[in-house]
Chains A and B, each alone.
Chain A
Amino acid sequence: DQQVKQNSPSLSVQEGRISILNCDYTNSMFDYFLWYKKYPAEGPTFLISISSIKDKNEDGRFTVFLNKSAKHLSLHIVPSQPGDSAVYFCAASDRSGDKLTFGTGTRLAVRP
């Protein structure tokens, strides 16, 4: 039972354009959401997060949007750069924040 779903396994975007990565979840107890970025042969690194009391959080080129009623969140990268090419994981936890449940990842390729 996949509680966090990333339905697009891959995405290709032109440099300078917007990248939009999507994530859906089924567990209504999830209260916190995070995005991680992973390069080959490295561990995931934390990118940006959002609490369920917000609907948007911005950090430089990265913005995460949360739609609680639709149980959907998205990560926007503007403008996309070739160095952004990586696998992006969506993750969620309940109010305790003890455990993270990860999605299956979306591989982003930014073309020069």
Chain B
Amino acid sequence: NAGVTQTPKFRILKIGQSMTLQCTQDMNHNYMYWYRQDPGMGLKLIYYSVGAGITDKGEVPNGYNVSRSTTEDFPLRLELAAPSQTSVYFCASSYKPGPGLSSAFFGQGTRLTVV
């Protein structure tokens, strides 16, 4: 019972490099999210998706891109890494049959350092 799986768990990037954070879920959830958590701060929403082929910006989308070609996968792309993107990144998913409350299941996180 894997739930939400994120890879890698840790990564160090140089300024200007690019990388993709992978996220996959096996619960057939329609909603998926990417959050970042900076030290002493709450989780900020980067992007989210309400289903395959549909993505939308959250609070802090600048410097990131996403795609959702399948229900299971929701990769997050950093094109030109900057020190400000040093953070812990969490992917989450939830099942929402309609409007209303839906608790999200989170992955274990990816700790990214940009130097």
A interface residues with partner B (beta carbon < 8 Å): 2, 4, 6, 9, 32, 34, 36, 41-46, 49, 51, 89, 93, 95-105
Contacts and interface: CB of A to CB of B under 8 A. Distances in A.
A43 B108 contact: yes
A48 to B, nearest CB: 9
B104 interface: yes
Contacts, number: 63
A95 B109 contact: no
B112 interface: no
Interface of B: 4, 31, 33, 35, 40-45, 48, 50, 58, 90, 92, 96, 99-109
A17 to B, nearest CB: 26
Contacts of A34: 101, 103
22 contacts: A4-B42, A9-B40, A32-B100, A34-B103, A36-B106, A41-B108, A42-B108, A43-B4, A43-B92, A43-B107, A43-B109, A44-B43, A46-B104, A49-B101, A49-B103, A51-B101, A97-B96, A98-B31, A100-B33, A100-B45, A100-B104, A101-B45
